């Protein structure tokens, strides 16, 4: 039988808590090559839900799924100078097949811009029809010095979208549409509030003109980049000679975007909603919305029948559920449901059966309610909405409470030391960002608009070091 071990309290040791939760909730275990994961059924189910939601959005936007090779010839990746500089140290390199040396080294894709560039070039020459809107679900490989489950792994799953447009404004607009979609999905389905902004030049994707990002705040106050969307301009089209015939029948370089989210989101989910009992999965993406736990079932044969009937009824209303009829102890069954993060559990014992009622317990607040069996479906549907909203509100509250506007470097350092997000007027150079990173451990997360920001910001203010007036505000934080 599976054993449940104690989870380290998150306030005591956040990193240890994170790994304990992942292990106990059976989300992943370690693969044999450094930094690789066996993504287990419970972890994969979360990713599957994210895929379903995104595929729905892609379909609405007429984005088509494709699958391109994971293998990139060395000569290809070297065509875009900034791009290769960004990825070269992380590239896994194939030099042989069996014992035989290959004539040219092959890299495992760390991302697929160069492959899509090659594809688009041929495709447009054949059809000359723009835009082209493609997405790929795949694994990518990046050799990282230090790894952390879901957050930074040698291999991970993601989707990478790649689009081609006939002018820069359409491409820019599309890059923005995608970051807004990411915000929508992450907030609505994963119940994780995010800040939307642009990356500074230092943090920009290798090869992009603009990188839009959504940044979330984990329970320990650190930032997690949860999704990015890049306006690539003509960087790749010029290097790969991707042209189309414009209205005047002239050849012109195309404008591109790329955008992605990854299994990092599972890490974000754990570190946003998890607690000392395990993970909490928002109902909107839970594989099982309800665990039905039967107590003393072996002594009461009618109980099993009643529970299976209840399970069928929930099925009929598309309320996914899982029944625990095992002869494990009551305490174990409850702890197991809690560690797995099922949004609601229903407890039924012999006395409940007699009273035609069940006990409903929400995972987020642990609140218990006795509900007549006849009202269970309505009650649950209402409860899922409450849980989804509560998870989001809790996280939003934490974010709002822990983000501060500062106007000098002393306060900046204090706030970072308190594990907060800091917003500051900032029109400085890359050098100053590096100085901040060295002195405080914080990196710039994104440039934000002072309009409608999560906390009030002035119209303009003096830049952190230079003192020059600016309306450019940047969020800094320690990050994953």
**Does 85 contact a copy of itself by CB under 8 A?**
no
Q: Which of 11, 81, 85, 127 binds a copy of itself (CB under 8 A)?
A: 127
Q: Which is nearer to a copy of itself, 102 or 455 (CB)?
A: 102
Could you say which of 81, 85, 95, 370 contacts a copy of itself (CB under 8 A)?
Answer: 95
Taking the CA atoms of residue 294, residue 300, residue 302 and residue 306 in that order, the dihedral angle to the nearest 10 degrees is -10
Interface with a copy of itself in residues 372-431 (CB under 8 A): none
Using the rule CB under 8 A, is 288 a contact of a copy of itself? no
Stretch that binds a copy of itself, among 84-92, 268-276, 424-432, 463-471 (CB under 8 A): 84-92
d(CA 141, CA 395): 31
**What is residue 421's three-state secondary structure?**
strand
CA–CA separation, 401 and 30 (whole Å): 36
| Distance of alpha carbon 136 from alpha carbon 153, whole angstroms | 19
Grouping H, G, I as helix, E, B as strand and the rest as coil, residue 126 is: helix
- Rank residues 92 and 414 by Cβ distance to a copy of itself and give the closer one: 92
422's enclosing H/E stretch is strand 421-425
- Considering the complex, state which of residue 12 and residue 62 has its C-beta at the smaller distance from a copy of itself: 62
The reply to whether 205 sits near a copy of itself by the rule CB under 8 A is no
Query: Of these, 49, 111, 154, 256, which contacts a copy of itself (CB under 8 A)?
Result: 154
Q: Which two tokens stand for residue 96?
A: 């042989």
CA distance 203 to 185: 24
Question: Among 91-99, 187-195, 375-383, 396-404, which window interacts with a copy of itself (CB under 8 A)?
Answer: 91-99
User: Binding to a copy of itself by residue 296, rule CB under 8 A?
Assistant: no
Other beta carbons within 10 angstroms of residue 163's beta carbon come to 27
Binding flag, residue 244, a copy of itself (CB under 8 A) = no
Decide: helix, strand or coil at residue 101. strand
Shortest spacing between CB 254 and a copy of itself, in angstroms: 17
How far is it, in rounded angstroms, from Cα 425 to Cα 43?
Answer: 40
Instruction: Considering the complex, state which of residue 242 and residue 424 has its C-beta at the smaller distance from a copy of itself.
Output: 242
C-alpha 92/C-alpha 282 separation (Å) is 36
Q: Please identify which residue in 56, 85, 139, 397 interacts with a copy of itself, judged by CB under 8 A.
A: 139
Nearer residue to a copy of itself within complex by CB, 40 or 277: 40
Measured CA to CA, the distance from residue 478 to residue 480 in angstroms comes to 7
Residue 319 makes contact with a copy of itself by CB under 8 A: no
Q: Binding to a copy of itself by residue 37, rule CB under 8 A?
A: yes
Indicate which single residue of 11, 52, 81, 88 sits in contact with a copy of itself (rule: CB under 8 A): 88
Q: How far apart are CA 353 and CA 294, in angstroms?
A: 10
Stretch that binds a copy of itself, among 89-97, 164-172, 268-276, 420-428 (CB under 8 A): 89-97
Q: E-strand spans in 207-320?
A: 210-217, 223-233, 243-245, 251-253, 255-262, 290-294
Find tokens 């894709």 and name the residue.
109
In the complex, what is the shortest distance from the CB of residue 47 to a copy of itself, in angstroms, rounded to a whole number?
8
Asked whether position 251 contacts a copy of itself by CB under 8 A, the answer is: no
Q: By CB under 8 A, is residue 19 in contact with a copy of itself?
A: no
Among residues 4, 93, 369, 389, which is the contact residue for a copy of itself, using CB under 8 A? Answer: 93
Helix (H) or strand (E) holding 425: strand 421-425
Is 36 or 450 the residue whose CB approaches a copy of itself more closely? Answer: 36
* Binder of a copy of itself out of 46, 157, 319, 399 (CB under 8 A): 157
435 phi-psi bin (left φ>0, alpha ψ -120 to 50, beta other): alpha
Residue 209 backbone dihedrals phi, psi, to 5 degrees: -85, -45
Interaction between residue 4 and a copy of itself (CB under 8 A): no
319 and 349 in contact (C-beta within 8 Å)?
no
Distance between CA atoms of residues 21 and 314, nearest Å: 28
CB-based contacts of 139: which residues, under 8 Å, 6+ apart? Answer: 70, 155, 156, 157, 158
Least distance (Å) from a copy of itself to the CB of residue 3?
8
Q: How far is the CB of 144 from a copy of itself (least distance, A)?
A: 10
Smallest distance from a copy of itself to CB 131, Å: 14
Residues 43-82, mask of contacts with a copy of itself (x by CB under 8 A): -xx-xx---------------xxxxxxxxxx--x------
Which window, 9-17, 135-143, 166-174, 428-436, contacts a copy of itself (CB under 8 A)?
Answer: 135-143
Least Cβ distance, residue 129 to a copy of itself (angstroms): 7
Task: Tell me, by CB under 8 A, how many residues bind a copy of itself.
Answer: 58
The angle subtended at Cα 118 by Cα 116 and Cα 119, nearest 5°, is: 60
Q: Look up residue 190 and give its two tokens.
A: 């994963």
- Residue 331: other Cβ atoms inside 10 A: 9
299 touches a copy of itself by CB under 8 A? no
What the block records as the tokens of 51 is: 């895929």
Query: Interface residues with a copy of itself (CB under 8 A)?
Result: 1-3, 29, 31-33, 36-41, 44-45, 47-48, 64-73, 76, 88-98, 106, 108, 115, 118-119, 122-123, 126-129, 134, 138-139, 141, 143, 154-155, 157
């Amino acid at each position: 039988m599976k054993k449940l071990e104690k989870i380290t309290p998150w306030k005591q040791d956040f990193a240890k808590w994170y790994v304990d939760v992942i292990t106990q909730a059976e989300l992943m275990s370690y693969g044999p090559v450094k930094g690789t994961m066996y993504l287990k059924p419970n972890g994969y189910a979360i990713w599957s839900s994210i895929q379903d939601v995104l595929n729905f959005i892609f379909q609405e936007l007429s984005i088509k799924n494709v699958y391109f090779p994971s293998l990139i010839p060395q000569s290809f990746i070297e065509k875009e100078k900034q791009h290769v500089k960004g990825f070269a140290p992380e590239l896994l390199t194939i030099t042989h097949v069996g014992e035989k040396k290959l004539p040219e080294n092959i890299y495992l894709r760390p991302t697929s811009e160069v492959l899509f560039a090659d594809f688009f070039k041929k495709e447009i020459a054949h059809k000359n029809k723009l835009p082209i809107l493609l997405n790929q679900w795949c694994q990518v490989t990046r050799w990282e010095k230090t790894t952390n489950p879901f957050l930074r792994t040698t291999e991970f799953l993601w989707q990478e979208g790649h689009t081609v447009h006939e002018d820069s404004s359409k491409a820019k607009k599309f890059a923005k549409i995608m970051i807004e979609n990411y915000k929508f999905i992450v907030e609505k389905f994963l119940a994780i509030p995010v800040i939307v902004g642009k990356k500074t030049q230092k943090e920009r994707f290798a090869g992009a003109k603009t990188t839009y990002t959504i940044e979330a705040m984990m329970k320990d106050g650190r930032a997690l980049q949860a999704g990015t969307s890049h306006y690539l301009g003509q960087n790749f089209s010029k290097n790969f000679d991707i042209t189309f015939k414009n209205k005047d029948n002239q050849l012109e370089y195309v404008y591109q975007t790329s955008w992605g989210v990854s299994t990092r989101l599972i890490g974000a989910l754990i570190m946003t909603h998890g607690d000392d009992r395990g993970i909490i999965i928002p109902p909107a993406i839970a594989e099982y919305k309800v665990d039905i736990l039967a107590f003393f079932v072996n002594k009461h044969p009618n109980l099993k029948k009643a529970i299976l009937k209840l399970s069928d009824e929930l099925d009929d209303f598309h309320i996914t559920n899982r029944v625990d009829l095992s002869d494990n102890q009551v305490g174990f069954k409850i702890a197991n449901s809690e560690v797995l993060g099922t949004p609601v559990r229903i407890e039924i014992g012999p006395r409940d059966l007699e009273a035609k009622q069940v006990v409903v317990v929400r995972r987020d607040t642990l609140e218990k309610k006795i509900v007549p069996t006849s009202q269970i479906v309505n009650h649950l549907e209402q409860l899922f909405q409450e849980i989804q909203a509560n998870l989001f509100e809790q996280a939003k509250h934490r974010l709002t409470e822990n983000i501060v506007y500062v106007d000098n470097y002393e306060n900046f350092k204090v706030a970072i030391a308190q594990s907060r997000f800091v917003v500051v007027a900032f029109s400085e150079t890359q050098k100053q960002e590096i100085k901040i990173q060295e002195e405080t451990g914080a990196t710039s997360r994104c440039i934000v608009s002072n309009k409608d920001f999560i906390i009030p910001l002035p119209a303009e203010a003096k830049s952190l070091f230079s003192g020059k007036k600016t309306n450019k505000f940047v969020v800094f934080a320690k990050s994953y």
